[in-house]
């Protein structure tokens, strides 16, 4: 699964391709737990969101290997 | 159908005239505009420049949602939302929102809703450059 | 002291850039603008043009009062209030109000206060020209 | 006393110079009664105000012969 990174998260997370099956990741929540475990700096963020196919995703959304998945730190546009 | 929504995320200077010309219409009596510029200070620290990074494909989708809500629920006739990305210097425009409406109260309400929501939902990130370092705005509590 | 208030009542075309340039400032992050244009219809009747008449000396005084309230009580940094008089055609700008502020909520509030109050207190009168006659707006109940 | 007229009122009121003493006008209220009596069309207005020296005037304000007095129909700028 392709992972797109932005802002401060790009400075922490280095991998942009995650094998869902190998890492036992089925849902957005599983992905978050995987990331938090591997990159504990994520705990210092105010919050972060996962977008799947350019839409904010709920924790229970099931991920597919062909999804475009992005990790979004707190937005600060405008 | 006439275009009612104009969404742009771009690396070049934002132009008020371009937004104004898009939203103005002989049937509209009131236009509200918001222009967000880069301030020279934040919390007392001097800023030298900002860099905006966007998840552009998703930002355009989220900006379109905001624009549609302005038209379908807030009484806007037409709306233009432009956001700059890349390096932006002090006093340069980071965002312009222009809304036309038959009556002015709706134009103000829609314009304020649009900038408030943009700052909450649109995946764009700002990095502030100070004299002695840089940091991503809002990232940590 | 730096000028914070720019008040104009004039017979020539109003320019958004002129108002924007006056109010923008490196210390301000948000600008709200209101532009009132001449609509082609009012209550279903087609309008051909408007004429604005002003008691100019008093209008300038009343507009200055509004501007001072915006700065002293509404958190505006700078404000520009331009009103056109004489004949104004469809889609032309009758009024522009631009307000800068450190934070956007104050800019919106001051801008809306300024246009609402201008319409209540500033001695300017609008005559609408329809296909079959003309009348002074708001004169009779 | 010089009288300045605007908008629809200019179409009704024709005099621009009123002798206060001759017409027994002391206050803004006296002036209003004088005008209403002479130009009953003023009753059809939504409202109208008197400005003295370019400031909205209360009914009890005393008028002087050198004051700049204006009759203001309901404003409709913006």
ipTM score for this prediction: 0.93
C-alpha B43: how far from chain center: 22
Percent of chain C with pLDDT strictly greater than 70: 99
The C-alpha angle B123, B128, B131, rounded to 5 degrees, equals: 170
> What total of structural domains would you count in chain A?
1
Measure the CA–CA gap between C103 and C84, rounded to whole angstroms.
29
pLDDT at position D55, please? 97
In a domain, A44, yes or no: yes
Residue pair C73/C133 in contact by the 8 Å Cβ criterion: no
pLDDT at position B43, please? 82
* CB contacts, 8 Å: A56 with chain B: 121
C-alpha D56: how far from chain center: 11
Asked whether the beta carbons of residue B124 and residue A45 sit closer than 8 angstroms, the reply is: no
In a domain, B5, yes or no: no
Inspect the structure and tell me whether chains C and D have 3 or more CB pairs less than 8 Å apart: yes
Nearest CA to C130 among C53, C40, C46? C46
pLDDT confidence of C1, banded at 50, 70, 90? low
State the smallest CA–CA distance between residue B57 and chain C in angstroms. Answer: 26
Inspect the structure and tell me whether chains B and A have 3 or more CB pairs less than 8 Å apart: yes
In a domain, C123, yes or no: yes
Asked whether the beta carbons of residue C39 and residue B115 sit closer than 8 angstroms, the reply is: no
Query: If you average pLDDT over residues C32-38, what whole number do you get?
Result: 97
Q: Which residues, 6+ apart, have CB-to-CB distance to B45 below 8 Å? A: B130
In a domain, B81, yes or no: yes
DSSP D12: T
Q: Which residues, 6+ apart, have CB-to-CB distance to D59 below 8 Å? A: D27, D28, D29, D32
DSSP A62: B
Residue-number span of the structural domain to which A47 is assigned = 2-72
pLDDT at C140 over 90: no
Residue-number span of the structural domain to which C60 is assigned = 15-131
Asked whether the beta carbons of residue C28 and residue B37 sit closer than 8 angstroms, the reply is: yes
> What total of structural domains would you count in chain B?
1
CATH number at residue D52: 3.10.20.30
State the smallest CA–CA distance between residue C24 and chain B in angstroms. Answer: 8
In a domain, A33, yes or no: yes
pLDDT confidence of C6, banded at 50, 70, 90? very high
* CB contacts, 8 Å: D46 with chain C: 138-141
Q: Chain C interface, mutation test: which of B108, B118, B128, B137, most C Cβ atoms within 10 Å?
A: B108
CATH number at residue B25: 3.90.1170.40
pLDDT at position C42, please? 83
In a domain, B4, yes or no: no
In a domain, D77, yes or no: no
pLDDT at A65 over 70: yes
In a domain, B10, yes or no: no
Residue pair A75/B122 in contact by the 8 Å Cβ criterion: yes
Token pair belonging to A72: 């979004």
pLDDT at position B140, please? 86
Half-sphere exposure of B131 (CA within 13 A, CB side): 5
Nearest CA in chain B to A55: B58
What residues 25-44 of chain A have any CB closer than 8 A to a CB of chain B?
A: 44
In a domain, A12, yes or no: yes
Residue pair C123/C83 in contact by the 8 Å Cβ criterion: no
3-class SS of residue A23: coil
Q: Mark the ranges of chain B whose per-residue pLDDT is less than 50.
A: none
In a domain, B92, yes or no: yes
User: What is the phi/psi pair of residue B83, to 5°?
Assistant: -125, 135
């Amino acid at each position: 699964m392709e992972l797109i990174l932005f802002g401060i998260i790009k400075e922490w997370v280095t991998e942009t391709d995650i094998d869902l099956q190998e890492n036992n990741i089925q849902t957005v929540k599983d992905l978050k737990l995987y990331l938090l475990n591997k990159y504990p700096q994520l705990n210092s963020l105010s919050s972060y969101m996962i977008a799947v196919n350019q839409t904010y995703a709920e924790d229970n959304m099931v991920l597919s290997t062909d999804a475009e998945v992005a990790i979004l730190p707190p937005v600060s546009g405008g | 159908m006439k275009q009612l929504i104009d969404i742009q995320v771009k690396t070049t200077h934002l132009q008020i005239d371009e937004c104004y010309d898009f939203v103005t219409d002989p049937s509209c009596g009131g236009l509200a505009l918001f222009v967000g510029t880069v301030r020279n200070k934040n919390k007392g620290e001097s800023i030298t420049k900002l860099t905006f990074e966007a998840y552009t494909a998703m930002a355009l989708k989220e900006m379109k949602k905001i624009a549609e809500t302005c038209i379908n629920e807030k009484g806007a006739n037409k709306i233009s939302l432009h956001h700059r990305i890349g390096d932006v210097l002090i006093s340069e425009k980071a965002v312009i929102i222009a809304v036309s409406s038959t009556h002015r109260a709706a134009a103000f309400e829609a314009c304020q809703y649009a900038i408030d929501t943009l700052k909450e939902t649109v995946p764009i990130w700002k990095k502030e450059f100070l004299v002695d370092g840089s940091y991503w705005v809002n990232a940590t509590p």
